[in-house]
Structure 1
Amino acid sequence: MVTTERLILYPADGIQMEGAIDTVQDAELKKAYEEMLTGCISHPHQWDWYAMWMIERHDGKHVGDLCFKGLGADGVAEIGYGIEEEYRGQGYATEAVRAAISWAFSHPEVKRIEAEAEEGNAASKRVLAKCCFLASGEIGEEGPRYFRNRLSIESMLEVI
């Protein structure tokens, strides 16, 4: 569990993930949730790296979710996130992604975090910029790819 000023993030258990799969209407999101659950079952010792992470306000309101798409042997993890429409534009995605990055980099084996943002998704690109991700120049399945290394931009600026 990770707590921020306004949010609580935690990996969903199998029942919560099955519930999300059963109730989600969007076919792409349903497929993503199914892949997360399959990853959890296939890698139970790395559950947190495959699970859907719930994003809730301190009052218990569910505002969205995020996930890591596993942790590679090379120390690279990809993050994905989404905020429910009624909670967008309030800084929840940035707050949640920053917290998730901090959690991920608290594991010494994590060297890099990557993400993709659909070409037209300006809000997601702003979140990545605020979280110090840089464009890699590559295009992934969901759009342009971004990355943030363990040695962050802030760390490098402190050295200069």
Structure 2
Amino acid sequence: MRYYEDLVVGEVSHSSRSYDVTREEVIEFAGKYDPQPFHLDDEAAAKTFFGRLSASGWHTAAMTMRMMVETWKDGEPTASLGSPGVDELKWIKPVYPGDTLRVVMTLITKRRMNSRPEMGLMKSKQEVFNQNDELVMSMVSNGLIKVRNPDVFEDETA
């Protein structure tokens, strides 16, 4: 189990799995959560900036979360306690059916929480690339992680 103390600022990890974007899933997700014409209809999408049917940015974020969780499951389990949110989310290039995505995660900072000595707060950057190594999305998110020994308080802010 990886705890707060095991995290190394600057550490980079790559998703253990990729994600194949399918036309069916793009349309299904959009139909439920982002029903804009360029996510649902080829003809409508052809008349937009996208040029063809594209995945919702929210769908791209959800696919990214899936790859991150699968990577954690494939490796050493982490003592994750959830997330208080995202600081930054940028959709850089459209994601299309037929694309294959992967994510690179970099730990930016970590710090112990004064109010909750049993947990630490970590900030990481996620960069999502397609099969052509083009950056399609970036995100800076926060995570809560359990401290191995809450009685020992050594702030390792980086």
Q: Which protein is richer in helix relative to its size?
A: 1
Using structure 1 for the length normalisation, give the TM-score.
Answer: 0.27
Which structure has the bigger radius of gyration? 2
Using structure 2 for the length normalisation, give the TM-score.
Answer: 0.28
**Highest RCO, 1 vs 2 (Cα 8 Å, sep ≥ 6):** 2
